[in-house]
Chain A
Amino acid sequence: MVRGSLGKLASRALSVAGKWQHQQLRRLNIHEYQGAELMGKYGINVPRGAAAGSVQEVKDTLKNVFPSEKEIVVKSQILAGGRGLGTFKSGLQGGVHIVKAEEAENLGAKMLGQILVTKQTGPQGKIVSKVYLCEKLSLVNEMYFAITLDRNTAGPLIIACSKGGTSIEDLAEKYPHMIIKVPIDVFKGISDEDAAKVVDGLAPKTADRQSSIEQIKKLYELFCKSDCTLLEINPLAETADNKLVAADAKLNFDDNAAFRQKEVFSLRDTTQEDPREVAAAKADLNYIGLDGEIGCMVNGAGLAMATMDIIKLHGGTPANFLDVGGSASEGQVVEAFKILTSDDRVKAILVNIFGGIMKCDVIASGIVNAAKQVDLKVPVVVRLEGTNVDQGKRILKESGMTLITAEDLDDAAEKAGSEAVNPKLF
């Protein structure tokens, strides 16, 4: 199904928004076919479908799962929206197609292993490792359904709209009255009344009311039991046989809950992530790759963003966002340094640490050890302040490393910018 996307994201977590927020939050995102499998486990109606990672698997799926279908929906599986309107780098238009069953294999071959670029992927696009083959449903009606955690009501909030599909964003702006919101008491859970209110808001035309109520309750159960931060079904559709079906779903999971959601988190697809970010995640570092020239290592998301801001104010370009966090070990600092120095675009590195829980001597030892292990080709500007600052500064001094020390934020950004353009030491 073709889906649009809403413009501004406003839910807050870890105090960042936009790309930062999504990355920073490290909310697990899973593929449509994985979402369908998970929903199926909870008894939620999903279209019949199977994922295929190779042309042979496409063939087998057609034979075993869809032997008698005349038409099949073939959907590229990438972790971004806007697939329907996207374009493959190979030239193929559209990441989602409804085709005659005999054309499915060919189409699958054209999609698998190719890069799909959509409004949400950025110009570099994302690789299609699997396609999802689904039954073509005869849909009577398309609605919108989502559950999220709402700060105002301090609990789960169900959002429903009797009109779903691509233009939900426009709908939200033009006809906000068609959207209903049902807050759920987080201690009591979803009641039959709550679920009935949602179904009334969805206003299905033919779907059985009681079964629809049950479907809503199952969706809520999945949302809570899997630690979802967002569960969005667009479209939630009615089929010709009076069922409510989750025709397409987007599920985000709270990374903070990984320790108790091992099965869900094993679904993570690292091929959809920047390899630098995958490496950083392995070392439990919060890293986002950008395309500037000044590599950054900072402790704290707010300070890291502020460091980006001030680098740009001084005319430089940040190569990345990297938050070593409050309890980074020396090993993690070493890993962070390695990732920064392995980025070819980086012309200077700025380490800006204001130690609270993070201790300056730990950072300093990490930098010194990293420099020993890595072939340091770019100048490093270091600004340290906070807990154990004197020990930290001493460690750096005694290391004999060629470092440029900065006193404050302005000084640090200026020196990093100037080193990137005109290195004095290398």
Chain B
Amino acid sequence: MAASTRRASQLLGSAAARLLHARGFAAAAAAAPSPAVFVDKSTRVICQGITGKNGTFHTEQAIEYGTTMVGGVTPKKGGTEHLGLPVFNSVAEAKAETKANASVIYVPPPFAAAAIMEAMEAELDLVVCITEGIPQHDMVKVKAALNKQSKTRLIGPNCPGIIKPGECKIGIMPGYIHKPGRVGIVSRSGTLTYEAVFQTTAVGLGQSTCVGIGGDPFNGTNFVDCLKKFVDDPQTEGIVLIGEIGGTAEEDAAAFIQESKTQKPVVAFIAGLTAPPGRRMGHAGAIVSGGKGTAQDKIKALREAGVSVVESPAKIGSTMFEIFKQRGMLE
């Protein structure tokens, strides 16, 4: 073949290859079903705040774990590289270039709400906000905006993140304690979740997906949102729910569990049962929620829904194990 022809076919070849690649990518993207519980190995993650201390440390950890990290966002640092990843000035740019569909936010409290809004405006599928300390008045606006759209899901803020062991880790949880497995975990706490993970790994059950919904009053995802996914996820055979005193999230969860008629075993622990009774300040809180919020109420509601509520936080894993055993779910 003449050199020019060879060259032409090379160019054509590479153009075709690019086209096929793009088609293939699009085809693959179109073919990939959306994750069972928000994230899986197909999730492509950017980090907002990547060049900061926390952003850097946890992006390194994520890459080490095997999460598909594809870039980061730090305004004014667009065009540079950090940890081998491209940095962009905005979420929209990052999404366009990297085809990211998720973001993790390690941005300080004064700017975090705006970072969430930016990710929402860019229509990412998932935003995980780790930041603790965002003013409530800011978050209430974010929540109101979230409620008006359905493209983006927010997890957090003030949460440890979400992990599908072996596939995708978005957040600050220590990866090594997790093991791909059969138990879905949803929790308001960060470190108390790790206890449940540690125990379910120790008894050999492992975790399907673990979601830390966080401790703020205005957050993106609640127990019921996660339970809906767990109930439909074939990999999740048992569910652990970790709640705390205050609010009505656990009662709502109990109602959902009952309505769903799920046969999957649910084990719960509610922290703060032995905390001393509160100092009362202000009437408005109680009027709004009609007196709900004590640990006793939550435990009662959950037990009435058929949930095994454990008294000791050290017994979460062993209790799930026993239930699996009783049901013949162990080999």
Contact = CB atoms under 8 A, between A and B. Distances in A.
Given A10-B292, A260-B135, A356-B160, A146 B281 contact: no
B191 A409 contact: no
A151 B275 contact: no
Nearest to A153: B144
A157 B285 contact: no
A11 B289 contact: yes
Contacts of B293: 8-10, 12, 17
Contacts of B171: 356
B218 A302 contact: no
A24 to B, nearest CB: 9
B278 A17 contact: yes
Contacts of A29: 281
B110 A172 contact: no
A334 B181 CA distance: 39
B140 A22 contact: no
Nearest to A326: B132
Interface in A267-317: 290, 298-303, 305-306, 308-310, 312-313
Interface residues of B, number: 73
A123 B288 CA distance: 29
Contacts of A14: 158, 215-216
Contacts of B54: 327, 357
B213 to A, nearest CB: 9
A256 B276 contact: no
Contact of B286 (A120, A172, A312): A172
Interface stretch (A105-113, A209-217, A223-231): A223-231
Given A11-B217, A150-B288, A409-B195, A356 B172 contact: yes
A37 interface: no
A257 B135 contact: yes
B302 to A, nearest CB: 16
A16 B172 contact: no
A309 B191 CA distance: 15
A268 B141 CA distance: 27
A154 B160 CA distance: 23
Contacts of A17: 244-247, 272, 278, 293-294
B284 A159 contact: yes
A151 B215 CA distance: 13
A166 to B, nearest CB: 11
Interface stretch (B85-93, B121-129, B309-317, B322-330): B309-317
A410 interface: yes
Given A149-B217, A154-B218, A310-B314, A10 B288 contact: yes
Interface string B266-281: 0001011111111111
Contact of B110 (A169, A260, A308, A413): A260
| Residue among A7, A8, A185, A260 facing the most chain B CB atoms (10 A cut-off) | A8
B242 interface: yes
A302 B289 contact: no
Contacts of B273: 309
A13 B146 CA distance: 19
Interface string A1-44: 00001111111111111111110000001000000000000000
Nearest to A228: B137
Interface residues of A, number: 88
B194 A356 contact: yes
A168 interface: yes
B223 to A, nearest CB: 12
A20 B141 CA distance: 26
A256 B144 contact: no
A10 B141 contact: no
Nearest to B289: A10
A29 B279 CA distance: 13
B291 A12 contact: no
B140 A149 contact: yes
B76 to A, nearest CB: 22
Contacts of B277: 18-19
Interface stretch (B26-34, B39-47, B62-70, B182-190): B182-190
A355 B198 CA distance: 12
B284 A15 contact: no
Contacts of A147: 284
Contacts of B147: 154
A310 B135 contact: no
B191 A356 contact: yes
B133 A256 contact: yes
A170 to B, nearest CB: 11
A375 B279 CA distance: 34
A9 B314 contact: no
| Residue among A5, A148, A354 facing the most chain B CB atoms (10 A cut-off) | A354
Interface string B116-157: 000000000000000011111100110110110000000000
Given A8-B293, A15-B188, A305-B271, A386 B215 contact: no
Given A149-B218, A356-B194, A386-B174, A309 B313 contact: yes
Nearest to A150: B288
Contact of B137 (A121, A227, A313): A227
A251 to B, nearest CB: 9
Interface in A115-167: 119-122, 144, 146-151, 154-157, 159
B271 A169 contact: no
B284 A230 contact: yes
Nearest to A412: B314
A9 B278 CA distance: 8
Nearest to A410: B314
Interface string A66-102: 0000000000000011000000000000000000000
A227 B312 contact: no
A132 B141 CA distance: 37
Given A181-B288, A254-B135, A302-B215, 10 more contacts: A5-B281, A6-B283, A7-B286, A17-B246, A80-B281, A156-B140, A298-B191, A301-B215, A305-B245, A309-B311
16 contacts: A5-B281, A6-B287, A9-B285, A10-B247, A11-B284, A13-B215, A15-B215, A19-B275, A80-B279, A80-B281, A120-B280, A234-B283, A254-B136, A290-B276, A306-B313, A356-B194
10 A-B pairs with least C-beta separation: A302-B189, A18-B278, A17-B246, A300-B191, A12-B247, A10-B289, A15-B215, A302-B192, A10-B293, A146-B284
